[in-house]
Amino acid sequence: MAQHEKFQTVESQLNWNAPMYKLYEKAKNNYWDPAKIDFSQDQEDYQSMSSMDRMFALPLVGAFAAGEEAVTLDILPMLEVMARQGRLEDTMFLTTFLHDEAKHTEMFSRWQTAVGVADLDLHNFHNDDYKRVFYQELPEKMDRLKTDDSPEAVIRAATVYNMIVEGTLAESGYHAFRQIFKEAGLMPGILEGIDLLNRDEGRHLQFGIFTIQRLVAGNDKLFRVFHDYMDELSPYAFGFVDYLTGLFEETRKHEWVDMTLKVDPNLMKEYARSQFDTRKSKIERARKYESGAELEAAATKQ
pLDDT reported for residue 4: 85
Residue 198 identity (one-letter amino acid):
N
Query: In Å, what is the CA distance from 11 to each residue of 6, 8, 14, 110, 222?
Result: 8, 5, 10, 45, 33
pLDDT reported for residue 257: 54
Dist. CA 184–CA 249, nearest whole Å: 18
pLDDT reported for residue 154: 98
pLDDT reported for residue 194: 95
CATH number for the segment(s) 39-286: 1.10.620.20
pLDDT reported for residue 256: 47
CB 125 within 8 A of CB 63: yes
Which CB contacts under 8 angstroms, 24+ apart, belong to 226-234? 226/155, 226/159, 226/283, 227/280, 227/283, 229/155, 229/156, 229/159, 229/160, 230/159, 230/163, 230/164, 230/276, 230/279, 230/280, 233/133, 233/137, 233/159, 233/160, 233/164, 234/276
Nearest to 190, CA basis, from 37, 27, 88, 10? 37
Rg of the chain over Cα atoms, rounded to whole angstroms, equals 20
CA angle 259, 260, 266 (to 5 degrees): 90
Q: Where are the domains of the chain?
A: 39-286
Which residues of the chain fall short of a pLDDT of 50?
A: 256
Dist. CA 232–CA 219, nearest whole Å: 20
CA angle 294, 209, 139 (to 5 degrees): 130
pLDDT reported for residue 189: 97
